[in-house]
Structure 1
Amino acid sequence: MSESESRIIEILRILAKQEKPIGSKLIADELKEKGFNLGERAVRYHMQILDEKGYTERKGYSGRVITDLGLEKLEKGLIYDQVDFIYSKFEEMIYLTDFLYMEQIGNVVVNTSTVYNEESINIMKEIFKSGLCVSPYVNLNEDKNTGEIEVTTICGTTIDGVLLNNGIASQPQYGGLLKIENNHPMNFTEIISYKKTSVTPLDAFSNSKLTSVLDVITKGTGLIPANFRLIPGIAKEKTLSIINQLENIGIGGVIGISKEGQDLLGLPVPDGMVGIAIVGGITPFCAIKELGEDIDIKLAEEIRNFNTLSPITEIIDSPLKTPSVEKQPKLPFLLSKSWNLIQQVNFDVEKQKGEIIANVSYVNRDKLDSALSIMEDAYNNNPKYINPFYKLIPHPDNDEKVGIATTCSLSIDGILINNGIMSNPKFSGLLELTEPPLFIDLISYNGTTLDPHKIFLSKNMTSITGNKPNKILASVKEIPYVSRDRAVHLLDILNNIGFSIYKIGKPRELVYNSKVDNYNFGVITGGGLNSIGAVKESGIDIEVKAIEKLIPFEKMERL
């Protein structure tokens, strides 16, 4: 991203935080705090550009405000910047936390979500009462006209901010799902790195089909959202003292603290460091989702003064016991798990035979014909975006279900590598079919343990069905420029066969707003689960699986 683009994005971010118009001087002052040495005259020049593009609007002598188009640009425009911005946003929230826990005054980081009925509030109270939360301190703000209730809760990032205020460098690493057995935290089952995603990690897992918070409360076993961070080992005793004092005033949620250099809950802790796991601040909201109630969850959105919050229920100790000390298997990232499958792809481009990687999703046998019909319609309506190949396979232990295997986009990496061309899967994302198409979310293959396309499908983020799809699944691959000519030749052949190749970029080109390293070029391919996403959108219950197995391409059928 150029320096000019960085300035424009930062100006839009500054305006987006304001509730009223502001002028060039205030913008210049805030830019300076963010490391941009830009005077008022230069700010005015940039503002004229933003006005012309429709991203900002002048309000007389008061200054400017961001427009809806500007907000959309900020949200979607530079998605490769958003991948870095998520982590920097948390760093900003940590820095702005100035809560003095001894006096109980100052700012804390909060999540602000919206529920739509009183029943959701009652459910939430029970969750807080169980102790499975960061803090029972909340703020409720009801809109009398709509009945909507805005719920502000304390985010676990507050603890990182308090530690920093006390000279302790806390480094957020991952957000994920933590397995609980008989009230004992066992191990993380899925994680996403804060540094390699445009989707806030816990937001990715805030889905009723992924969490089981209610089961943890009622049965002591299930999956809850949790965060993992590192601190220097020398600061452990001071950190424990602060955590104990925070718990005494109602801010807690700490699940476990490792010994120096010792793995915690299946996650590695480097020598000289200590790992800390904290329950996700959205845990009570996930319980509401599990019951089928509507809720709009927003994470670590803002800073709020602690004195605006009050306990929604009495403070109760967490039901969780001491974490398991048994050594857990290492949790590999998705790309690490996939390389061996990629290595085994032996598809012959000329003969159109050989093994490829397949996703295998399962549907009830009585819904199979309907599912295949939907997949066929999706392909016929949009052959450019939907891969037409599939194969039916038996379910390993349930005769009432049938597997539908579809071509995984990682097959393309395997084919290129088998032909002597290095292809590195870089991002998996959600592509909006504007003109030109733009990625609106990206998650690094090497920053997640769960296939991102499964995440997007579980959160109903796609729009694949119909005559004109709007949001589809796609992936970004990175290929060395030196092999470009031969790679383009092979990719053209694969595209003609029916593999979904959307775009072949040029060196240093932003391809659909995704970015690859220097001396490489990007290739955008269609997600193998797009046809399965069409089935899911149509209301048919389908168990989505990704990157499951190798199957012979010649035995696949075509829609």
Structure 2
Amino acid sequence: MPNETDQKMMEILRILADREEVLGAKTIAEELKRKGYNLGERAVRYHMRILDEKGFTKRIGYAGRKITTKGLNELKKGLIYDQVDFIFSKFEGMIYQTTLDTVKAQGKVVVNTSSFTDEKAIAIIKEVFEGGLSVSPLVKINETINEETSEKEVLVKTVCGTTIDGMLLNEGIPVIPQYGGIVNVEDYVPTHFTELIAYQKTSMTPLEAFTAKEMTSVLDVVREGQGMIPANFRIIPSAAKERAHQMFHDLEKIGISGMLKIGEDGESVLGVSVEDNMVGIAVTGGIAPLCAAKEAGFDVNIKLAENLMDYNELNKIGSSKSVLKSSGPENGQKVKFLLSRAWNLIQKVDFDPETSNGHMIANISYVPQEDLEEALEIMAEINKMRPEYCTSPFYKIFPHPHDKNKKGIATVCSLTVDGILIKNGIMSTPKYGGILEMEEKGPRFVELTAYSGSSLDPHEIYISKDMTSVNDALNGYGRLLASLKEIPYLARPHALEILSHMKDAGLSVLKIGETSELIYNAKVERYRVGIVTPGGLNPLAAVKEQGILVEPKAVETLVQMSELTEF
């Protein structure tokens, strides 16, 4: 279990990552004190020497330290349970530090920082800004040299939608950021959110999850009025609606908007339900222009809500007037959250591990028909070499519902384990989908996204963003899809017995923890026990890693064990 020293070093790395300049021990000690760590300069120097030895920081003369790329990677994955809690608190901190004055047109705004090496991407980015598809046409573009690669990079800082949350708070309006997601646009009219991820309980910022180039179609929206754009969603008290309207009016005067829709008291907004006495607000994601560059094939590193900067340092490169039209009345479409669908399938699981009969939950992913045979060979190899990395060694071929040139491959979903445990009287709750990194010192989660508050299975996101390395994991080092479930601690002995029968039936479980134990670096609620299972999509992730087009679809349907074929 990570100790207090580990936590202090992670906070030092976090401080260095949040500040772009070189920092000395005195400044770091002051920042640590603000965060509740009473660490003097001498103690900070001691911890910094350890970080230097690990290669996480680099000493810059007598000025102090700077975080390295290795340090940034360790910060991202080192204490994943802390990262999950930190993401939302980071947004809260950015909201608090926003100081923009709309009358004087000066103060701090929250910015996203993105980078790329191909300057041709700038033309695409400018086209989106000209279409007004952003929070603001105010940006800062400059060139720099990447210290790690020595390559010239273009840095683009865009206004983040979190700035709007900060402005609402500055007006005395309590604001609750809820989701980042994707909004469907038809004939230039935003119609509804198609996907959502809650800001709380995820190790990556929600909109970051939707930056894979196949998830958005910002360019299509700018050019043709049809497609998908990133957006975020927050709620405020309905009593503050008029003041919020005035604030948005004042922001528009100085070039900040991005408003997609603001609802009425208790009214759904773009398919997102809102409680009575609250009002929903949807705003275009500040990263939309960068998503367009990704869609065009450019390699863009997108980081959300990275820093604060002075409003006066930004320059206008596009139009404040958006190509989008008013969204109009709600069309009745609602966002369907994953767990609602999953619970209904979980309760229908009747698979008996002792007889190997009954129904299990299946994922159905699609591949081109001409690649089906090769895909099955790759999946068979994964099951042969590392059966523990697969939920089950069984599969089934399905036709594509619309495209005769594609075939579906059904694999057993790990939520089947929850269904079996519940059928046997043990309440099993799916908590997180994650990435499990296999390394010399043992497996550890390096990404986690809660099933609750997400419309997509997290594993679909990780595959789309090419975050796995299942084929590398065959040799001991790599990244697997895995899930974390929780059961009551008193049920652990009974669960061990049932899991033993599951193993005999071919179902894999990687680990069952002790009471309230960190399991592979993921936190489990007090008086609960964690169970980690491999992702049912691991074989399909391996297929995509080898260059075959895969459309991953998790938690799709029920399958009868007797209908499945063993690899």
Native 8 Å contact 1:197 1:447 kept in 2: no
Give the counterpart of 1:517 among 525, 532, 537.
525
Letter of the aligned partner of 1:78 in structure 2?
Answer: L
Letter of the aligned partner of 2:556 in structure 1?
Answer: E
Q: Distance in 2 between matches of 1:160 and 1:50?
A: 35
Q: Distance in 2 between matches of 1:299 and 1:65?
A: 21
Q: Distance in 2 between matches of 1:355 and 1:101?
A: 60
Correspondence list, 1:1-20, <5 A: 6-18=7-19, 19-20=21-22
Q: 1:460 maps to which residue? A: 466
Native 8 Å contact 1:8 1:46 kept in 2: yes
Provide the secondary structure at the position in 2 that maps to 1:118. coil
Q: Distance in 2 between matches of 1:64 and 1:220?
A: 48
Native 8 Å contact 1:22 1:65 kept in 2: no
Q: 1:514, CA displacement in angstroms?
A: 0.8
Give the counterpart of 2:420 among 411, 415, 419.
415
After superposition, the C-alpha distances for 1:85-104 in whole angstroms (9 at most, x for unaligned) are: 11111111111211122212
Larger CA deviation: 421-430 vs 255-264? 255-264
Q: Distance in 2 between matches of 1:55 and 1:395?
A: 48
Correspondence list, 1:34-183, <5 A: 34-38=35-39, 66=67, 70-143=71-144, 146-183=151-188
Give the counterpart of 1:439 among 426, 437, 445.
445
Provide the secondary structure at the position in 1 that maps to 2:191. strand
Q: In structure 2, do the counterparts of structure 1 residues 15 and 142 end up closer, same or farther at CA, with 3 Å as the change threshold?
A: closer
Give the counterpart of 1:223 among 228, 248, 251.
228
Q: 1:29, CA displacement in angstroms?
A: 2.3
After superposition, the C-alpha distances for 1:269-318 in whole angstroms (9 at most, x for unaligned) are: 222222111000111111111122221111111111122210113x2411
Q: 2:353 maps to which residue? A: 349
Q: Distance in 1 between matches of 2:104 and 2:495?
A: 63
Q: Distance in 2 between matches of 1:222 and 1:69?
A: 37
Q: Distance in 1 between matches of 2:173 and 2:400?
A: 51
Q: In structure 2, do the counterparts of structure 1 residues 48 and 149 end up closer, same or farther at CA, with 3 Å as the change threshold?
A: closer
Give the counterpart of 2:218 among 197, 213, 219.
213
Native 8 Å contact 1:408 1:528 kept in 2: yes
Provide the secondary structure at the position in 1 that maps to 2:515. coil
Q: 1:357, CA displacement in angstroms?
A: 0.3
Q: Distance in 1 between matches of 2:398 and 2:77?
A: 39
Correspondence list, 1:116-515, <5 A: 116-143=117-144, 146-313=151-318, 315-386=319-390, 387-434=392-439, 435-466=441-472, 467-468=474-475, 470-515=478-523
Q: Distance in 1 between matches of 2:565 and 2:409?
A: 11
Provide the secondary structure at the position in 1 that maps to 2:471. coil
Instruction: List runs of 5+ in structure 2 lacking aligned partners.
Output: none
Instruction: List runs of 5+ in structure 1 lacking aligned partners.
Output: none
Provide the secondary structure at the position in 2 that maps to 1:432. strand
Q: 1:159, CA displacement in angstroms?
A: 1.4
Q: What is the total number of aligned residue pairs between the two structures? A: 557
Q: 1:356, CA displacement in angstroms?
A: 0.1
Provide the secondary structure at the position in 1 that maps to 2:201. coil
Q: In structure 2, do the counterparts of structure 1 residues 400 and 52 end up closer, same or farther at CA, with 3 Å as the change threshold?
A: closer
Q: 1:482, CA displacement in angstroms?
A: 0.8
Q: 1:108, CA displacement in angstroms?
A: 1.1
Letter of the aligned partner of 1:74 in structure 2?
Answer: L
Q: Distance in 2 between matches of 1:54 and 1:397?
A: 52
Normalising by the residue count of structure 2, what TM-score does the alignment of the two structures yield?
0.93
Provide the secondary structure at the position in 1 that maps to 2:543. helix
Q: 1:537 maps to which residue? A: 545
Larger CA deviation: 141-150 vs 110-119? 141-150
Native 8 Å contact 2:354 2:505 kept in 1: no
Q: In structure 2, do the counterparts of structure 1 residues 48 and 288 end up closer, same or farther at CA, with 3 Å as the change threshold?
A: closer
Q: Distance in 2 between matches of 1:488 and 1:79?
A: 26
Native 8 Å contact 1:265 1:324 kept in 2: no
Q: 2:33 maps to which residue? A: 32
Q: 1:499, CA displacement in angstroms?
A: 1.6
Q: 1:182, CA displacement in angstroms?
A: 1.8
Larger CA deviation: 146-155 vs 31-40? 31-40
Larger CA deviation: 146-155 vs 403-412? 146-155
After superposition, the C-alpha distances for 1:471-503 in whole angstroms (9 at most, x for unaligned) are: 110000101111111111221222243222111
Structure 1 vs Structure 2 CA RMSD: 2.3
Q: 1:41, CA displacement in angstroms?
A: 6.5
Q: 1:516, CA displacement in angstroms?
A: 1.2
Q: 1:219, CA displacement in angstroms?
A: 2.4
Q: Distance in 1 between matches of 2:16 and 2:153?
A: 26
Letter of the aligned partner of 1:343 in structure 2?
Answer: Q
Letter of the aligned partner of 1:371 in structure 2?
Answer: A
Letter of the aligned partner of 1:504 in structure 2?
Answer: I
Q: 1:265, CA displacement in angstroms?
A: 1.1
Letter of the aligned partner of 2:371 in structure 1?
Answer: K
Provide the secondary structure at the position in 1 that maps to 2:193. strand
Q: 1:332, CA displacement in angstroms?
A: 3.6
Q: In structure 2, do the counterparts of structure 1 residues 112 and 62 end up closer, same or farther at CA, with 3 Å as the change threshold?
A: closer
Q: Distance in 1 between matches of 2:404 and 2:238?
A: 53
Provide the secondary structure at the position in 2 that maps to 1:484. helix
Provide the secondary structure at the position in 2 that maps to 1:542. coil
Native 8 Å contact 2:136 2:320 kept in 1: no
Identity value in percent: 52
Q: 1:248, CA displacement in angstroms?
A: 1.6
Letter of the aligned partner of 1:368 in structure 2?
Answer: L
Provide the secondary structure at the position in 2 that maps to 1:501. coil
Q: Distance in 1 between matches of 2:542 and 2:41?
A: 51
After superposition, the C-alpha distances for 1:209-244 in whole angstroms (9 at most, x for unaligned) are: 111212222222221110001122222222211211
Q: Distance in 2 between matches of 1:542 and 1:176?
A: 22
